[in-house]
Amino acid sequence: MSDTTIDTKRKIHKIVIVREACISAATCVVIAPVAFELDKDSIAILRPQAMEMDDATLLMAAQSCPTQAILLFDENDKQIFPAL
């Protein structure tokens, strides 16, 4: 029996993009192209496969946003990032 534990439970359950805060920098798209794309107005939107992206990459994408326009929530709807 191994003493190594791997936590496979997902932490991020919801992603919200605050459209008014998005300045089209597109770093989220560069870091997590499976999850984000820019719409016709060059504002970030979620792609249908967004939740297939792993938590670490989603967090990195949210952290990369210069205006913190990407909010991440856990299963209890508690905001994970940016920390409140």
Binding site for ligand SF4 (CB under 6 A): 17, 22-28, 44, 64-67, 69-70
Distance CA 21, CA 1 (A): 49
Task: With residue 55 as reference, give the H or E element that holds it.
Answer: helix 55-64
Asked if 66 and 25 count as a contact pair (C-beta separation under 8 A), the reply is yes
Closer to ligand SF4 by CB, 57 or 64: give it: 64
Name the residue nearer to ligand SF4 (CB basis): 10 or 30. 30
Whole-number minimum distance, CB 9 to ligand SF4, in Å? 26
Q: Are 57 and 32 in contact (CB under 8 A)?
A: yes
Q: Which is nearer to ligand SF4, 7 or 82 (CB)?
A: 82
Compute the least distance from the CB of residue 68 to ligand SF4, in Å.
8
Minimal distance, residue 76 CB to ligand SF4, in Å: 24
From the list 50, 51, 76, 65, the residue with the least C-alpha distance to 19 is: 65
